[in-house]
Amino acid sequence: MADAPRETRRSRPALQTRAEESHEAAETRIYQSVVSGVMSQRLRPGTKLPEAALCELFGVGRSIVQKALQRLAHDHVVELRPNRGAIVAMPTPDEVGKLFEARRALEAAVLPLVAQWATRADYAMLRRQLRDEQRAMHHAPQTEWARLASGFHLKLGELSRNPLLSRYLMELISRCSLVVAIFQPPGNATCEHDEHARVVDYLEQGKVDLAIAEMDHHLRDLESHIKLDTDKDELSLAQMLGMEEQA
């Protein structure tokens, strides 16, 4: 009989761990549903995300929803307004302009370092990635193409051999990708494959100034296709999140 309490005590950490894992999975499910809704343009900028409605839709408590919303706010997907709740982020034209201005400056700093440190194997890897990108452009959904296009810019950051620049670039690319996914009209290329190819050509030839100019043009063109509108469809929150209406 004396051993029974010790057994019970030993089982508590395992039960607690399973509960924590379950909460984390629920938080991730909410996070991914909101991101997917935003990236697919179902959740438009300014859409309210009431905590009570999310709790009901996902069958979870308020603390889990709050953690998911905090994570989304950290990644600039939603805005948390004191005493008014969460909404899908609504960047202003000025904010978008400053975001792309910062990205142009950062990528211009990265390219000379790529030219300095990249090896023949690195350029071969970049060209393989460009071939994957081109195939996706013709045969894969636009989301896959967008992922590969962003991956190209991230790879340049890695090839700079500067972890700080690479990390800052990753954050800017993530935020730019979100803005583009929300505001770029359907049918526009997220990134132009030929412009990527020219950047690699210029870098490999040691023509760094031309590579910087090509990248600057490329990013300005990407920004020019962004249309900051907030038109909303009459959809329920469940539909915007890609979920079936609950009875």
Range with lowest mean pLDDT among 39-48, 53-62, 102-111: 39-48
Across the chain, mean pLDDT equals 85
**pLDDT, tens digit, for every residue of 83-137?**
899 999 999 999 999 999 999 999 999 999 999 999 999 999 999 999 988 887 7
Residue 7 has pLDDT above 90, yes or no: no
Are the CB atoms for 160 and 110 separated by under 8 Å?
Answer: yes
pLDDT of residue 29: 95
Are the CB atoms for 178 and 76 separated by under 8 Å?
Answer: yes
Confidence of residue 247 (pLDDT cuts 50, 70, 90): very low
* Spatial strand order in the sheet of 48-49: 48-49, 85-88, 78-81
pLDDT of residue 177: 87
The residue-averaged pLDDT of 205-215 equals 98
Confidence of residue 193 (pLDDT cuts 50, 70, 90): confident
Domains assigned to the chain? 3-90+230-240 (1.10.10.10), 93-224 (1.20.120.530)
The residue-averaged pLDDT of 208-213 equals 98
Range with lowest mean pLDDT among 147-156, 215-224, 232-241: 232-241
Alpha-carbon distance of 89 to 48, in angstroms, equals: 10
Confidence of residue 199 (pLDDT cuts 50, 70, 90): very high
Which residues, including other chains, have CB under 8 Å from residue 42's CB and lie 6 or more apart? 233, 235, 239, 240, 241, 242
Tell me whether residue 168 is exposed, middle or buried, using C-beta atoms within 10 angstroms of its C-beta: 0 to 12, 13 to 18, 19 or more. Answer: middle
Q: Model-level pTM?
A: 0.76
pLDDT of residue 63: 96
Q: Name the percent of the chain lying above pLDDT 90.
A: 59
